[in-house]
Structure formats: structure tokens, C-alpha cells
Structure 1
Amino acid sequence: MVIRLIGHIGRRQSSIFSSLSSYRPITLIQHPSPQRSPIEQWRGYVSEMRKSAFEDRIRKLIRNDIQYELDRSPLTQLVPKFKSFLIDERTGEQWIRLHKEFGENEEIKLEVTMFQVSAPAAKDGRVTTENDLELYISMVISIFKDEKSGILEFVCNVWPDSIEIDKVFMRDRDGMTGKPYLGPPFNDLDDELQTSLYDFLETRGINDELAVFLHKCMQHKSKNEYIRLMGSIESFVARKK
């Protein structure tokens, strides 16, 4: 009896294992994503067309602006030298640098920024107009001697035909921390001392002739940088993903 029961159990297990061996996993059927309707496709096409037309409009306006500037005067490179000063144009930046050696142990660097606008003080209720505005350039003059000496610096306003000293002070070669003493306004100094300091710069070629050159130089610089900027913006708008 026991032998028969064992035989029945063995046959039941055998049938179970045989059914498991024939098991196949269920495969999920991938249904294709629904296609956009013709109306949705048309709307997407119109949206892309509008975007393309808008970008083309921007590019056309930029090209027209660039051509207008080129028609007024051609794009030119800054001259590499003015008298004994070498010029670093600093392409893509808002300033230029001039450099020269003077005497046996002096090194002179000029850092010149782009134009700023000066408006005279209104008098007797008179309204300031565009004709009253005058462009000037900010310039920092740094004069180096030897490693033991500091740096003599002049902060100047460069007018179309003259250079005006605003500050004169000394600083360390390692730079300045905090708020260093910059001295009184230049115009508060003794008149004879002011004249002597202007003569000091004149001897080093920093004079009215340089002021005239710098204004012409920065006009070219401003135009060149503007055209480069507009060209970069046009290229960016035109770039596709």
C-alpha cells in the first residue's frame, strides 16, 4: 500500500515538473505610439516656420546694421605702434594697452578704456542737449623702475585734444589691499607741482598728441568690437541643434 502511494506521489511530481518545463514567459506586445493627426502635424510645421522666419528676420536686421556701419567706414585693424608705444588691441575686451621702455630702467604701461560721456552742469535752467555732451577716455598710467621701488600711477581723463590728471599716487608691486591713501584731488596740489608733473609725463611722450591719437584709436576699437559682437550674435541665431 505504501509502495503504491509513493508511486502515485512520484507520478504527480513528474507531471508537475513536466508542466513547469513547458512554461514559456509572457511576451508583452509593443504597440506603436499613436501618430499625430494631420492637424497636429500642420500646427507643428507652422510653428517651425514661424520660428525660422523670426530668426531669419533677426539675422537680416543684424546684417543690415553691420552693412550700415561698414558703409560709413571700413573695418580696420588698430595700428600696432604709435611713436615709441607698442599697442595691444585686446580683441573682445573694452580696453587697450600701450607699452614702452623709457631710459635705462623705466617701463611705462597705459591702460585705456572705451569712451565715457561727460555732460556739463546745466546753468540758468538751460536743458542739456546732445550737442553739449563730450566724449572722454579714462586712462591709468603705471610707471615702473626697479624691483625695490613701488609703482607711480596717474589716473587721467583723456579729452579729444588734451590729457587731464585726476589722481597721482604710489602703490606696491604686489598690489594694494584695503583702501590705500590716494592723496588729494590733483587740482588741490600746488600749481607749480601740477605743472611739473605734466612736464614729467610730457617728457615720456604722454601729451596732447597722444590724446588725439587715442580718441581716433578708440573710435576704431569701438566700431570693430561692435561689428564682431553683431557677427557673433548672427552666427548664434543661425546655429541649428
Structure 2
Amino acid sequence: MASQLLRTSLRALSRPAFKAAAFATAPRVATPAVRSIPMIARPMATRFYSSGTGKKNNYYFIDSDLVHKLEEELQYEKSNEESAQPEFVKEFLEANSFQLDDKLGHDEVSLTRTFGNEKIKILFSIADINNAGPSEDFLAEGEETVEEDDIAPSFPVRASITVEKDGKGAVTIDTVAQDGDMAIESVMFYKENKLAIEQSAEADWQRRGLYIGPQFAELDENLQSLFARYLEERGVNTGLATFLPDYVEYKEQKEYIHWLDSMKTFISA
């Protein structure tokens, strides 16, 4: 088990940097802001030399080796994959009124529900798992074995919560889930529902000129507490804060297996 967990952790730590930065902080939108892609220092290009017997010889040898390695990794990951929906997902959905919308190949996931005359949507991304820094213990020099408790870091997951009322506008609350707590970062109000939920160039342009609200941490403490209770009443509570990091980890693994399979299929075609 220790070697298996070590392999999984090393794979997660070596993911490309361009998947980091789950949500940008500005401009404020109803859904997590479009992630910016940082400039990455590119390594020197690998040179390929022909043996002089034509491209086909080298070309197909490389393809075959790559397909073989992808298949090897795919089978390893599948052997550790849960065949059915994990129990923690079933338990959360059964205990709450949320509907889960998760599309394979996409890194964003949404939870939706109704609450009286309100429509509530929670949007989060699996990219946050790549923002979790390795622990010092895990990377300690000379360490050969890893205990399960050492590779279960609690990483923050950003979630954008939108509460709509037909014809009355919408409120968007940006939060961070970590260690069983939902911390509020900002609260925004939109007079038009579409400005809170629509993802288009026109809606984005209109949002840019709007007042996005005060710094939440600077609000009166009683007001902050009431906003937290407002969310709790709508199911944004400790249960959700615990569920989000677990689901992000589960989905990231599922997407990695899908990526391996897609790459193997393409290269072997």
C-alpha cells in the first residue's frame, strides 16, 4: 500500500504547471474566473536522429514504445480504480439535496439544488489539487517509505456559489473549502441574473464595470457570521467542505485515466 500511495503522490506532484491556478480573482464573475496559463520555461527540444534507413524505422519504434508505456501506466491506474461511484459520493448526495453534474474531459464540476424560490449552483474545479504543495516530511532526504497519513494533505478548493431568484437578480459568493470549513472570500450582487451565470464576452464586459462589493474580511463580524449562516442554511456547510477536496481527488484520478486512454488510442491509430 505504501509503495502504491507513493507512486500516486509522485505522479500528482509531477503534473504540468499549466493546470495550476484554479480561479483568477478578477474580474469577478458568477463562475470561477478563467484560469490564466502561466508562462512555463520550456526545456531544450529533444533532437531526433535518423538512422539513415528512412523515417519509418525510427518513427514507428518510438510510437510503439510510447504506446506500450501508456498502456502499462493505464493498466496500473485501472487496477486501483474504483469500479463504481465511491461510497462517500453516494452518501453525500443521499444526505443532501444537491444534483451533481460532472462531464468526463472537463475539469469543472457543479452541484445544483433549489431552496424555496432560489436556484443554487456551486461550481468548483479539479485544478486546485495541483496547487497543494508537498509536505516537508514527504520530500525528506533519504526517506524510503511513506505512511498513509503523511500523504493525505488537506488542500484548499475554491467554490463559487450563485444564488438566483427569478426576476430579482443573483448573489455570487466566492468561498474556499479546507479542513471542513467553508471560508467566505467575497460576496457580489447582480441586478440581472444573466450577469451572474452567463459566460460570454458581452456578459464579461458588462461585469467589468460593476462594483464587486467590499472586502469580506473588513465587514462587521456579526455581518460576516450572518452570511456564513445564510450559506449553511442552503447546504454550504461542513459536509460540503469535507466533500469537495475528496471529490476533486477522485475526479482528478478519473480524468488522468481518461487522458492515458485517449493518448494511447490516438498514438496507436
Same-fold call, TM > 0.5? yes
Deviations 1:115-170 (A, max 9, x none): 42256xxxxxxx998679752111110001121x1101101111141111100010
Instruction: Provide the C-alpha distance between the structure 2 equivalents of 1:181 and 1:99, rounded to a whole number of angstroms.
Output: 26
Counterpart pick for 2:220 among 174, 190, 197: 190
SS in 1 for 2:53: helix
The aligned runs of 1:117-156 (5 Å cut-off) are 117=131, 134-147=154-167, 149-156=168-175
Deviations 1:18-39 (A, max 9, x none): xxxxxxxxxxxxxxxxxxxxxx
Q: Which amino acid aligns with 2:256?
A: Y
User: Is 1:43 aligned to 2:53, yes or no?
Assistant: yes
User: Is 1:90 aligned to 2:97, yes or no?
Assistant: no
Check conservation: 2:107, 2:127, Cα contact below 8 A. no
Q: Which residue of 1 aligns with 2:20?
A: none
Check conservation: 1:75, 1:224, Cα contact below 8 A. no
The aligned runs of 1:166-181 (5 Å cut-off) are 166-171=185-190, 172-175=192-195, 176=203, 177=206, 178-181=208-211
Shift of 1:50: 2.6
Instruction: Provide the C-alpha distance between the structure 2 equivalents of 1:181 and 1:231, rounded to a whole number of angstroms.
Output: 45
- Once superposed, what is the RMSD of the aligned Cα atoms? 2.7
Q: Which residue of 2 aligns with 1:73?
A: 81
Shift of 1:75: 5.2
Greater RCO (CA < 8 Å, at least 6 residues apart): 2
Shift of 1:185: 1.9
Check conservation: 1:157, 1:165, Cα contact below 8 A. yes
Check conservation: 1:118, 1:135, Cα contact below 8 A. yes
CA distance 1:190–1:129, shift in 2 (3 Å): farther
Which one is further off, 202-211 or 74-83? Answer: 74-83
User: Is 1:199 aligned to 2:229, yes or no?
Assistant: yes
User: Which runs of 5 or more residues in structure 2 are unaligned?
Assistant: 1-51, 140-149, 196-202
Shift of 1:61: 1.3
Instruction: Provide the C-alpha distance between the structure 2 equivalents of 1:69 and 1:185, rounded to a whole number of angstroms.
Output: 44
| Structure with larger Rg | 1
Which one is further off, 188-197 or 167-176? Answer: 167-176
Check conservation: 1:163, 1:208, Cα contact below 8 A. yes
CA distance 1:77–1:92, shift in 2 (3 Å): farther
Check conservation: 2:124, 2:157, Cα contact below 8 A. yes
Q: TM-score, normalised by structure 2?
A: 0.63
Q: Which runs of 4+ in 1 moved over 4 A?
A: 75-81, 127-134
Check conservation: 2:112, 2:119, Cα contact below 8 A. yes
Q: Which residue of 2 aligns with 1:23?
A: none
Instruction: Provide the C-alpha distance between the structure 2 equivalents of 1:231 and 1:55, rounded to a whole number of angstroms.
Output: 15
Q: Which residue of 2 aligns with 1:100?
A: 113
Aligned residue pair count = 188
Check conservation: 1:115, 1:136, Cα contact below 8 A. no
Instruction: Provide the C-alpha distance between the structure 2 equivalents of 1:75 and 1:65, rounded to a whole number of angstroms.
Output: 17
Q: Which amino acid aligns with 2:232?
A: E
Q: Which residue of 1 aligns with 2:123?
A: 111
Counterpart pick for 2:71 among 46, 63, 81: 63
Shift of 1:184: 2.1
CA distance 1:118–1:184, shift in 2 (3 Å): farther
Instruction: Provide the C-alpha distance between the structure 1 equivalents of 2:120 and 2:241, rounded to a whole number of angstroms.
Output: 16
Q: Which residue of 2 aligns with 1:54?
A: 62
CA distance 1:110–1:162, shift in 2 (3 Å): same
User: Which runs of 5 or more residues in structure 1 are unaligned?
Assistant: 1-41, 120-126
Q: Which amino acid aligns with 1:168?
A: V
